[in-house]
Structure 1
Amino acid sequence: MRLSSYTALTAALGLASTADALKILMGNDDGFGSGNLRELYKLLVDAGHEVVVVAPAQQQSGKGGTVIWSETANLTIPSQYNLIPAGAPSVGRDNSSQDIWYYDGTPAACTFVALDWVLPRYYPEWKQTADLFVAGPNYGTNLGAFVMGLSGTVGATFAAISRSIPGIAISASNRAVPYFNVTGASHPAVLAAQVSFEVVNEFIENTMDGQAVLPLGYGVNVNIPTLVNGTTPPIIKTRLTGNANTDVAVYNETTGLFDWDNVDPVAAGINAAYNGDLSLPGETWVVAGGGVSVSVFTMDYTSPSNTYTELVFDKIGGLVVGEGGNGTKYSRRMVEERMRKRGAMLSGRDGGA
């Protein structure tokens, strides 16, 4: 499916069946007043899904997966765009919609507040979980493996995936805009939301009844180039590595302050490719060429089983216990005994935490 106009997209939405409706939790790092966020929210609602937004009260880009809670029960300054006045609770509903919430914390903290406070109190039928988490679309792309620890959009998604919820992080190439300044079908925020919806909807439509949208522990990183003429660019399967960037600290002699820039030429470390299909193009390269990148990642950071990993383990072979080490071999009984002494450390903390 390729949608060439807003009218075509609206017509497609009219065909959506509420029988396929999902409970979708949304977040971002740009704030709950984001034009991109609100436009995608409207499209998902119009498609028949039940959608709840819990997003930062202030702009929180670059916070990654850090969890920083509000230190006060009330806002000490007005929220972004003065949507919520100073003195209001640090968590609450936006005046424009009962299903759009703000929290004065980082993006990942917003995800946890959504799951552990908003949903249990106000949406008990959700059973403290969601069928899908969608973050964004972000203002600006989030490309390459480095942003997996830098981007608040991805960080909020990671938080959801860690709670066993399928997550899709979406980033676009348009500039920041308050939702109340989005006017007309050709506005960049509208176009970004249309492409975002097309990708999200494709995942939903191709999921069988009773099946999760993504396998357990899986997530998707989507990046959208600058959009022109209201058309959807080619959508391409990609990998995180491949011409990807990482940061350098740039010092300003006049101000005495640091800012960031990208390493030039690109660093080899961030582009070392070990996992997945190595024939896929890098998402940075694809978006630079005008395509929409779709990369699949997992929560499992464990290195692949290869010679390099064996060499790393061999360096401490004289210390480690177990198979392949020169120390005392462990047994399941030994591990269980140690776990009993330490207390439960590996139990799940999904819904009902």
Structure 2
Amino acid sequence: MRSALALVASTAFVLRALGLNILITTDDGFGSASVRELYKVLNSHGHNTFIVAAPTGHSKVDFQTGFTTEPKLTVDGDWGLVKAGEPSLGHDPHDDHIWYYNGSTVAQVIVALDYILPQFHKVSRPDLIISGPNINRVSLKFPYTTVGIMGPAYAALQRGVPAIAFWTEHHPVIPYSWIQNRTNTDFVDPWTATARMAASLVESFIERAAGGPVLPQGVGVAVDLPASSDNCKNPSFVLIRGSQDVPVGNVQFDATMGLFTTGLPEPVYTNEDFDVGFVGIKVPRGETPECVARVVMFAVNFDAATDERCLNAPPVPLVQPPPVVPNVSATGNLTIPTATPTTPVSPPPATVTAMAAGMTIPSLLLLASLVLAL
């Protein structure tokens, strides 16, 4: 009995030691079942998890950075969890790791990074930011990079924090208080099952990181989760391509009304072997198995250094060889080699895919190997 207790205690210690600081946000509201269930699952895995989201849903606000101009809420939050007249920033009275802020989804990330986490929890920077799981699989006729669930993920990467975005279209937005431990078919609540799906992928990345960054710098992951059901509890995670040429919608001006109307682009077919299952993502042509989670890699560009040593470095032409610069010395820790006019500089490739922009080949190969190994 003592040995069993010792094993449990040691396991709990290891979980705490390996636990990460993880921030979750969503555009479905801080009381939505989707993020509350993921919060519970990640906490049960030993992570120090936080939620920062709006008191009301902000679905489809896209990549906006909106901060409230009101110190107090002017309307009740969703499901009456917070009331008009309460502060625009606050936390759940029963859990100081669950916060709301009356701003856009991108603003949630910024407020969490710059104020909530360092000020109240002594967390200078989280190890991972998760956006979602959100309702509304990316089915809008716009590139998936413009939808609300992706804004926080891109903001996280731009602040140097690894990010994963999850979405699904198959379950309604409900408050966490409606979660059922078991459904009529003796299956866990769909949002509980969805949270477990998301957490399984998160844990795979954490395990393979072996104490290092969860993802390579500047690299994020977007995941389309399938509907959870009796027949789909542990989906396969399939790496697919992000489409680089899906058009953003167009607008037309109605002179009579004095307003713009939006035009929805037709689905884009960029390769005979792929069709657009939902705009912005290419999936294999033909019927796709239902219990499959589609994983897309994306990145922001960290190649453009802004530190003083690089700003002071002489420019390097892309095509024509530079003039001879004798005895160029090191600037800071960066050594700039002497140019050799007899060595031509290869021109850049004619096209650079959106997925490759800002990503080094090692980063691409590393992340692809992680997903394919799942």
Q: Conserved in 1, the CA contact under 8 Å of 2:143 and 2:246?
A: no
1:219 is the counterpart of 2:239: no
| Aligned-partner Cα distance in 2 for 1:288–1:257 | 41
**TM-superposed deviation, 1:245:** 8.1
Counterpart pick for 2:317 among 323, 330, 339: 323
**TM-superposed deviation, 1:216:** 0.9
| Aligned-partner Cα distance in 2 for 1:89–1:150 | 30
Q: Conserved in 2, the CA contact under 8 Å of 1:243 and 1:285?
A: no
- Summarize deviations over 1:104-153 as a string: whole Å, max 9, x none: 000000100001110121012x12x1111111101021379944442222
RMSD: 3.7
1:116 is the counterpart of 2:100: no
| Aligned-partner Cα distance in 1 for 2:261–2:75 | 26
Following TM superposition, where does structure 1 have runs of at least 4 consecutive aligned residues deviating by more than 6 angstroms? 13-16, 242-245, 248-251, 255-261
- Summarize deviations over 1:75-123 as a string: whole Å, max 9, x none: 0111111100111111110234211000100000010000111012101
Aligned residue number for residue 86 of structure 2: 88
Aligned residue number for residue 292 of structure 1: 293
Cα–Cα, structure 1 residues 184 and 203, in superposed 2: closer, same or farther, change >3 Å? Answer: same
Indicate the larger mover: 180-189 or 50-59.
180-189
| Aligned-partner Cα distance in 1 for 2:41–2:14 | 11
Aligned residue number for residue 166 of structure 2: 170
1:150 is the counterpart of 2:146: yes
Indicate the larger mover: 172-181 or 74-83.
172-181
Q: Conserved in 2, the CA contact under 8 Å of 1:148 and 1:155?
A: no
Aligned residue number for residue 183 of structure 1: 180
| Residue pairs, 1:6-25, within 5 angstroms | 17-25=15-23
Q: Conserved in 1, the CA contact under 8 Å of 2:25 and 2:51?
A: yes
Aligned residue number for residue 209 of structure 2: 207
| Aligned-partner Cα distance in 1 for 2:118–2:163 | 20
Q: Conserved in 2, the CA contact under 8 Å of 1:91 and 1:102?
A: yes
TM-score, length-normalised on structure 2?
A: 0.67
| Aligned-partner Cα distance in 1 for 2:261–2:102 | 25
Cα–Cα, structure 1 residues 322 and 14, in superposed 2: closer, same or farther, change >3 Å? Answer: closer
Q: Conserved in 2, the CA contact under 8 Å of 1:58 and 1:79?
A: yes
| Aligned-partner Cα distance in 2 for 1:151–1:257 | 23
User: What amino acid is the match of 2:175?
Assistant: P
**TM-superposed deviation, 1:190:** 1.2
Mark the runs of 5 or more structure 2 residues left unpaired by the alignment: 1-10, 183-187, 304-314, 332-374
Counterpart pick for 1:130 among 108, 126, 129: 126
| Aligned-partner Cα distance in 1 for 2:13–2:166 | 24
1:79 is the counterpart of 2:80: no
TM-score, length-normalised on structure 1?
A: 0.70
| Aligned-partner Cα distance in 1 for 2:204–2:317 | 44
Instruction: Specify which structure has the higher proportion of helix.
Output: 1
**TM-superposed deviation, 1:250:** 11
Cα–Cα, structure 1 residues 46 and 104, in superposed 2: closer, same or farther, change >3 Å? Answer: same
1:63 is the counterpart of 2:61: yes
| Aligned-partner Cα distance in 2 for 1:182–1:245 | 38
User: What amino acid is the match of 1:137?
Assistant: P
Q: Conserved in 2, the CA contact under 8 Å of 1:144 and 1:245?
A: no
- Residue 197 of structure 1 aligns to a residue whose secondary structure is helix
Aligned residue number for residue 47 of structure 1: 45
Aligned residue number for residue 240 of structure 1: 242
| Aligned-partner Cα distance in 2 for 1:15–1:206 | 20
Q: Conserved in 1, the CA contact under 8 Å of 2:249 and 2:264?
A: yes
| Aligned-partner Cα distance in 2 for 1:242–1:236 | 19
**TM-superposed deviation, 1:247:** 4.7
Q: Conserved in 2, the CA contact under 8 Å of 1:244 and 1:284?
A: no
| Aligned-partner Cα distance in 1 for 2:201–2:263 | 30
Q: Conserved in 2, the CA contact under 8 Å of 1:145 and 1:241?
A: no
| Aligned-partner Cα distance in 2 for 1:246–1:296 | 20
